[in-house]
A and B are shown apart, each in its own frame.
Chain A
Amino acid sequence: MTDQRSAPPVLVLDHATKRFGAVRALEDGSITLYPGEAHALLGENGAGKSTLVKILAGVYGADSGELLIGGEPVTFNGPGASRAAGVSIIYQEPTLFPDLSVAENIFMGRQPLGVGRRIDRAAMNRAATEIFARLGVQLDPSRVARGLSVADQQIVEIAKALSFNAQVLVMDEPTAALTTVEVGRLFEVIRTLRAQGAAVLFITHRIEEAFASCQRVTIMRDGSFVRTAPIEEVTVEDIIRSMVGRDLDALFPKTPAAPGEVVLDVEHLCRDGVFYDISFQVRRGEIVALAGLVGAGRTEVARAVFGIDRRTSGTVRVRGEALPNGKPLAAMNAGVALVPEDRRQQGLVMEMSIDQNVALASLRRLRRFGLIWRSRERELATTWATRLQLRFSRMGNTVSTLSGGNQQKVVLGKWLARNPSLLIIDEPTRGIDVGTKAEVHRLLDSLVVDGLAVLMISSELLEVLGMADRVIVLREGRIAADLTRAEADEDSIMRAATGQSPAAAA
């Protein structure tokens, strides 16, 4: 790295790789941290940031590559080893003991001892108060952790890290659940830490935060290191380009759309604290994508449309008919189908057979004399298995025996058997291998050609660009952009999703 700093780096990770079976989670994880510096690690979802953090944390061992701390090569065989080496990780979800006191949370397993190896509570609370003073915050060390706000929980985590005399603090998207005021306080704390000589690695997907609080930035993409630069030497433009800069190298089987009448009409949809004033339409024969960063409210909008979550205000119409609030069954009867993000938990009954899963949403129709007939179930499932080109050995096998892609086909078949007019599909290809991905995409395309209206939620930019006729970008619960297929590209979507207007970036 071309750097003229006098202080040697405290931590260097060089060309680390990590595979899980056939999946390469990290191709080239490289980062260099200097004392007294806050370093932002930026990248899209799936860029490998979390894997890199877990290697630093000692949760995963790297398959190859080198990790140097204070110039010495180290290997971690567990979270304890990483901590002992002076690396503390603050996870996005704080890992506190809700039933124990704040001070005890900080010193768990290392409580100050008095006579006879007894825990010296007074000393423990004093030490905690001291750390809070160093951080410039006020928290009662003797209160239980249960009921602390997420921001305060993070403060406790940071205090814990300090109590280890950590030289390196890694924060994994610490601001994701914080309010603006709380983010401000966190930045103050980070400034204090830097002043005391700690190196801070700050993982985020909010580019403006990198500029607000960091001196150096590293960008990752597709599991690989892209570049590191001092923050003064880069612009938002550069960063966005580095984060997404790739070609549409995968071919998407997209037939030009011929949108028909409006199927879904959402007006001023609002759920307090989650999303506000969402209005859009989906027509027959088109795919509308809901894009945005994780936490922007995409899934929540879909859930409110389907009636799983109640909306605070606004209307949802399907083919002109208003849907009642909070009634998924009414949405189903109006011809709406929802394929959830988490197949295994919400889309399938993993221990049930393939045909039973396919029939699950059509049981009313399969009933005769009030009983479900296995033969009719089997018949229905066979029809859809053929149409969706499902690969399976026996209909009676449990769905857990199928691959991810084929499981997704079962979920699709379950809903298509109801002959819906609107399909809401959340992350259609998450966890599906590349080959089957294209198959799912082809399937979606042919359904749309046949006149289905599709509302697709996706975190994969390529998928959004390749499949969608229109892209609605959400940011922090509001519509940030409504783009046509022609207008949508990586730049425009990322810009809207991260809140960088073209003017501000230029």
Chain B
Amino acid sequence: MSVITAPAAAPTERPVSRLESLLRARELGIALAILLVFGLTTLNNHAFARVASIQQLLIGAALIALLGVGETLVIVTRNVDLSVGSIVGLSAYIVGDLFKYHHNMPVVLGFVVAIAVGAAIGAINGFVTTVARVPSLVVTLAMLYIVRGVDGLIVNGKTIDPGSIPKAFTAVGYRTLFGIPWLAIIVAVVVATAGYAMRSFRSSRDLYGIGSNPDAAVLAGIPAGRRVFTAFLISGSLAGLAGALFLALHAQIDVSGGTGYELAVVAAVVVGGVAIFGGSGTVLGAALGAVLLNTINQALVASRISAFWNGAIAGGLLLVAIAFDRWLSLRVARSLQSAEGAHRDL
């Protein structure tokens, strides 16, 4: 057996791996951005660094971060789930309605029902996307309206008020452990679990493969349909869980609960470094993206800047994030090309 070296591999190696390390540092960059926004705002308004204020920062980001976990799973496979906001609203109302008429229902059952509602809708999303091969953008957009419509029928103009919901349930929304809100702890556990799973299991690596190159995924024998279905199922279930947490947090719910969450989630996920065309990104990045957007939001309030700027800044960040990704991939493509050209001249 002859041993030969690979001169062709060497020139492409360096620039790409440097860019790659930039990519890897994405989570770090967002964390730094959060600290920067937090620090600057605190200089301006010291109340921003109070425990209660920080608790509010965490609580405010928790639901979007939780939805971001499911959304990341879906977007990594080159799909999107726009139905999560409606699922939050429907599951929250159904649980609230149950508590209203069965006040002694166990608290755990409230969570189970919410997750089941979300899972059922997620299953429909996944089924239509993978079996009927309808683009998920269309499927989940339709589901956004359908679920909201069903929600409207069930709600029928009523509101669930705090008196109908057991204290033990709403406690989840306001209790803290060593000063950390339960809500944030629950979401952190989900993010950590999902983040670990996304790195460490074959089936979750399949998700990245499917989004990275769908044709190659088929050739590699990945059961793409089943995996994508599971991603939607999990996204729906987490949205159901988010619905229960929404109810626990606000202790009341009407027909508008969760409206517009889907876009906030997609924004957070993309700002968090999950490629909108699939294949890369982490759950942790998505969660940090949610924290960053929420921190900016509250920083504006604390700095007494008009809340109207909030949307504009979120949008601006989104553009920067996407432009950055695009720029990165162009850089990689160009460095590859010039390296190839150099070989040809040899």
- The residue that A97 contacts in the complex, of B7, B208, B332, B344, with Cβ under 8 A, is B208
- The residue that A109 contacts in the complex, of B3, B221, B343, with Cβ under 8 A, is B221
Q: Which residues of B contact A83 (CB under 8 A)?
A: 221
For residue A182, CB closer than 8 A to chain B, the reply is: yes
- Give, as a whole number of angstroms, the nearest-CB distance from B136 to chain A: 19
Contact (Cβ within 8 A) B205 A104: yes
Contact (Cβ within 8 A) B2 A188: yes
For residue B161, CB closer than 8 A to chain A, the reply is: no
- Give, as a whole number of angstroms, the nearest-CB distance from B183 to chain A: 29
For residue A95, CB closer than 8 A to chain B, the reply is: yes
Contact (Cβ within 8 A) A108 B12: no
Instruction: Across the interface, name the chain B residue whose C-beta is closest to A79.
Output: B219
Given A98-B213, A99-B212, A100-B212, answer yes or no on A148-B4 (Cβ-Cβ < 8 Å). no
Binary contact track B189-231/A, C-beta < 8 Å → 1, others 0: 0000000000111100110110111011111111000000000
Contact (Cβ within 8 A) B336 A100: no
Q: Which residues of A contact B208 (CB under 8 A)?
A: 97, 99-100
Contact (Cβ within 8 A) B222 A108: yes
Name the segment of B13-21, B172-180, B248-256, B304-312 touching the other chain.
Answer: B13-21
- Give, as a whole number of angstroms, the nearest-CB distance from B246 to chain A: 33
Given A95-B216, A97-B209, answer yes or no on A149-B335 (Cβ-Cβ < 8 Å). no
For residue A423, CB closer than 8 A to chain B, the reply is: no
Q: Which residues of A contact B206 (CB under 8 A)?
A: 108-109
CA distance A306 to B70 in the complex (A): 50
Contact (Cβ within 8 A) B279 A80: no
For residue A119, CB closer than 8 A to chain B, the reply is: yes
- Give, as a whole number of angstroms, the nearest-CB distance from A184 to chain B: 9
For residue B341, CB closer than 8 A to chain A, the reply is: yes
- Give, as a whole number of angstroms, the nearest-CB distance from B64 to chain A: 25
- Give, as a whole number of angstroms, the nearest-CB distance from B220 to chain A: 5
For residue A118, CB closer than 8 A to chain B, the reply is: yes
Classify chain B: how many residues form its interface, as a range.
35 or more
- Give, as a whole number of angstroms, the nearest-CB distance from B202 to chain A: 6
For residue A138, CB closer than 8 A to chain B, the reply is: yes
CA distance A113 to B200 in the complex (A): 9
For residue A143, CB closer than 8 A to chain B, the reply is: yes
Contact (Cβ within 8 A) A108 B215: no
Q: Which residues of B contact A196 (CB under 8 A)?
A: 1
Dominant secondary structure at the A interface: loop
Instruction: Across the interface, name the chain A residue whose C-beta is closest to B220.
Output: A108
For residue A152, CB closer than 8 A to chain B, the reply is: yes
For residue A159, CB closer than 8 A to chain B, the reply is: no
For residue B170, CB closer than 8 A to chain A, the reply is: no
For residue A181, CB closer than 8 A to chain B, the reply is: yes
Contact (Cβ within 8 A) B202 A111: yes
Contact (Cβ within 8 A) A143 B16: yes
Contact (Cβ within 8 A) B215 A95: yes
For residue A32, CB closer than 8 A to chain B, the reply is: no
**Interface centre among A97, A109, A144, by most B CB within 10 Å?**
A97
- Give, as a whole number of angstroms, the nearest-CB distance from A196 to chain B: 8
For residue B43, CB closer than 8 A to chain A, the reply is: no
For residue A96, CB closer than 8 A to chain B, the reply is: yes
Q: Which of A66-106 contact B (CB under 8 A)?
A: 78-80, 83, 95-100, 104
CA distance A139 to B17 in the complex (A): 12
CA distance A118 to B198 in the complex (A): 10
Contact (Cβ within 8 A) B279 A109: no
CA distance A504 to B153 in the complex (A): 84
Contact (Cβ within 8 A) A109 B2: no
Given A104-B205, A108-B209, A149-B339, answer yes or no on A182-B1 (Cβ-Cβ < 8 Å). no
Contact (Cβ within 8 A) A185 B6: yes
For residue A147, CB closer than 8 A to chain B, the reply is: yes
Given A95-B219, A138-B6, A192-B1, answer yes or no on A181-B343 (Cβ-Cβ < 8 Å). yes
CA distance A148 to B17 in the complex (A): 11
Q: Which residues of A contact B201 (CB under 8 A)?
A: 117-119
Contact (Cβ within 8 A) A97 B212: yes
For residue B5, CB closer than 8 A to chain A, the reply is: yes
Q: Which residues of B contact A108 (CB under 8 A)?
A: 205-206, 209, 220, 222
Q: Which of A112-153 contact B (CB under 8 A)?
A: 113, 117-119, 134, 136-140, 143-144, 146-152
Given A79-B219, A80-B221, A195-B1, answer yes or no on A147-B209 (Cβ-Cβ < 8 Å). no
Contact (Cβ within 8 A) A136 B2: yes
Contact (Cβ within 8 A) B202 A152: no
- Give, as a whole number of angstroms, the nearest-CB distance from B119 to chain A: 23
Contact (Cβ within 8 A) B222 A143: no
CA distance A181 to B339 in the complex (A): 14
Q: Which residues of A contact B220 (CB under 8 A)?
A: 95, 108-109
- The residue that B8 contacts in the complex, of A78, A99, A113, A149, with Cβ under 8 A, is A149
17 additional contacts, CB 8 Å, given A179-B344, A188-B2? A79-B218, A80-B221, A95-B220, A99-B212, A99-B279, A100-B205, A111-B205, A113-B202, A119-B205, A136-B4, A140-B17, A147-B333, A148-B336, A149-B9, A149-B339, A149-B340, A149-B343
- 6 nearest CB pairs, A to B: A99-B279, A95-B216, A147-B16, A97-B212, A99-B212, A99-B280
- Interface on A for B, CB 8 Å cutoff? 78-80, 83, 95-100, 104, 108-111, 113, 117-119, 134, 136-140, 143-144, 146-152, 155, 179, 181-182, 185, 188, 191-192, 195-196, 273
